[in-house]
Amino acid sequence: MALPLPTSLSPSKVTAFKDCALAFRLSVIERLPEPPSPYAAKGTLVHRALELLMWQEDPPNRTRDAALAKLAAAVPEVLDSDEYQGLSLSEKERSDFVDDAVSLIDNYFRLEDPNDVRVMGTELRMSAHLGSLRLSGIIDRLELDGDELVVTDYKTGRAPSANFEQSKLGGVHFYAFLCSEVLGRRPDRVQLLHLREPLVISSVPSEQSVTALQRQAGALWSAVTAACDREDFRPKPGRLCSYCSYREYCPAVGGDLGLLERPDAHLGTAAGVQNPDTP
């Protein structure tokens, strides 16, 4: 029996399939739960603080103090949510967690002055069809820089090395395609604000880059469709295996895919293992 196709692709799903087809199946198709990630929680917290700063405060009120106030307001909203309560942070761990988020906010102010940003929208959900495939994503920030339309994505994990910079821009080019389809205008610039270092990686999308994204998405969708038809999602062993939440199911590292047939199957040995590169 063929496996059900996902209903859409997002940048994270595209990356997941490229990184490991089996992990993609277990996460996207089987929808197996993963332990809450402190790295994902950190990203959610900082994104929320910057969203509140940009959307609730007008220039010249987008100050560091205002950003830290937004961060403080976002802490219980994020860390006490159902999604992240399972982190079970001690009082000291929670304090260290927030202190690190403060350092990321400080680094953000080293990259740009938010009072100079003309925000059009934050956390914008967009979707568009490419044939039978629906592409969807959430744009962190859409703005105008003079007459230029700019897509900005915040990153709280480690920045890629120079050799992998362009590959990491794939997700933002994905958003450039969505803007072209939904807004009828291709962004003039796409940029990643890496808050850990901090540094900015930017690129200018072209008709060719958007067309290439469409071709790549179509090819990847064909590969996902074929894998579902054949029930053939093969693991891709590599450095990410040490952080994978699905090790007990993966035959490449001694796991048993047959656990999927057990009604009481659950994440066991992998629980609590996290990926430090996750934003």
What string of pLDDT tens digits covers the 279 residues of the chain? 589 999 899 998 998 999 999 999 999 999 998 899 999 999 999 999 999 999 999 999 999 999 999 999 999 999 999 999 999 999 999 999 999 999 999 999 999 999 999 999 999 999 999 888 999 999 999 999 999 999 999 999 988 776 555 555 667 778 889 999 999 999 999 999 999 999 998 889 999 988 988 899 999 999 999 999 999 999 999 988 998 999 999 999 999 999 987 655 444 434 333 333 334
Q: Is 106 within the bounds of a domain?
A: yes
Q: Is 205 within the bounds of a domain?
A: no
Q: Is 278 within the bounds of a domain?
A: no
- Cβ atoms of 196 and 104 closer than 8 Å: yes
Q: Is 24 within the bounds of a domain?
A: no
Give the SS3 label for residue 76.
helix
Residue 30 and residue 176: Cα distance in Å, rounded?
Answer: 30
Query: For residue 104, what are the domain limits?
Result: 38-115
Encoded tokens for 70? 């937004």
Q: Is 59 within the bounds of a domain?
A: yes
Q: Is 77 within the bounds of a domain?
A: yes
Q: Is 22 within the bounds of a domain?
A: no
Question: Look-up: residue for tokens 């009120």?
Answer: 61
Q: Is 103 within the bounds of a domain?
A: yes
Q: In the chain, how many domains are there? A: 1
Residue 89 and residue 103: Cα distance in Å, rounded?
Answer: 19
Question: Look-up: residue for tokens 């199911």?
Answer: 249
Which strand (E) or helix (H) includes residue 209? helix 207-230
Partners of 203 in beta bridges: 190
